A = this chain, B = another copy of it.
Amino acid sequence: MKADDTFTTDIGWSTANSITVFGMDFPSEILGSLNLGDMAFLELTGRVPDANESRMFNAMVVTLVEHGLTPSTLAARLTYLGAPEALQAAVAAGLSGLGSVFVGSVEGSAKMLYEAFAKDDSEPLSTIAARVVADFDARKQIIPGIGHPFHKPIDPRTPRLIQLAEETGFRRKHVDLVLQISATAEKKKGKELPVNATGILGALCCEMGFDWKICRGLGVMARAVGIVGHLLEESRNPIARKLWLETEERATRHLREATGNGTVEE
C-alpha cells in the first residue's frame, strides 16, 4: 500500500512477547542499562549515547529541571488546587507557559549560533562574533543567552557547564562562539553581559547536533520532572490557596474600598 508507506512510526512497537524501542529489545537492552537522561538522548537521536555524551547530556537536562517558584510551577500549583485528582493536568498547565519568554532563549541561542556559522564558516571567531553583535544591534534585538537580571557578574551554572564540556569533549566552536559573542558585546556596550545558562545550553545543543527547533523540548521534558516535585511539595505544604485568596483581595481592594467593605468569593 503506497499511502501507508509514509504513515509510519519507527520509534516503538511490540508483539505478544517482545517490546522494541528504536530497534532495541526494550527489556534486555534498555531497562537497567540506560538512565532517564540516556533514554531522552535515545528519543532525540535514535541511538544510545556514549559515556561522554551521557554525562554532558544528563547535565544539560538536569540544568533545566529546577528553577524554584517560577510562573510555571505556580501555574501548576494553582491548577492542582482545583483538580488534585488530575495531577497530569497540573503538570500540563505548568508546561503550557514554557514558550518564547523563558525557555525560548535556549533555542534562540542555538539558532543564532547555527546561523552564524552557516553564513560564513571560514572567518575567525572574533569576526563572526562582531558580525552577530552588529546584526542584533542593527535589528535592535536582544542577543539571546547573554546577560542575566540576577546572576552577576556570572551565572554560576555557566563555568560548571563549560568545565563539563571540556571534560567530555564538547567544548567546540559553538561554545567558543557564544563566549566570544559575550566578550564582544560586553566590550561594545561597556557592561556585564555574561553567557547565562540558556546561552551555554544552546551552544551545547549545537555541539550535539540537535535541530534548534527541538531545544525547547529539552526544557519541557526537564521541567516536567521539576513540576512533579513542586506538586509533591504543594500536597504537603500548600501555598496555592493562600496565594489565590490574598491576590484576589489585594487586586480588588481598590474596587471594594470605593463602595464599602467586602470579601473574596469563589
A265, chain B: closest CB distance, angstroms: 4
Asked whether A63 is an interface residue with its Cβ less than 8 Å from the other chain, the reply is yes
B27 touches A160 (CB 8 A): yes
| A5: B residues at CB distance < 8 A | 254
Find residues 1-53 in chain A having any chain B CB closer than 8 Å to their own CB.
Answer: 3-21, 26-28, 30-32, 34-40, 42-44
A106, chain B: closest CB distance, angstroms: 12
Q: How far is the CA of A182 from the CA of B260 in the complex (A)?
A: 30
Closest to A152 in B: B16
Cross-interface CB contact of A37 among B35, B42, B70, B248, cutoff 8 Å? B35
How many chain A residues touch B (CB < 8 A): the figure is 136
A85 touches B85 (CB 8 A): yes
A54, chain B: closest CB distance, angstroms: 8
B43 touches A66 (CB 8 A): yes
A200, chain B: closest CB distance, angstroms: 11
- Beyond A237-B6, A244-B71, A260-B15, whether A83 also contacts B65 by CB under 8 A is no
Asked whether A169 is an interface residue with its Cβ less than 8 Å from the other chain, the reply is no
A11 touches B70 (CB 8 A): no
Closest 9 CB pairs of A and B: A83-B99, A43-B229, A15-B262, A82-B97, A224-B224, A36-B37, A12-B68, A79-B97, A13-B252
Chain A interface residues toward B at CB < 8 A: 3-21, 26-28, 30-32, 34-40, 42-44, 54-55, 58-59, 61-63, 65-72, 74-76, 78-103, 148-152, 154, 156-157, 159-161, 163-164, 167, 211, 213-214, 216-218, 220-222, 224-226, 228-233, 235, 237, 239-244, 247-248, 250-256, 259-266
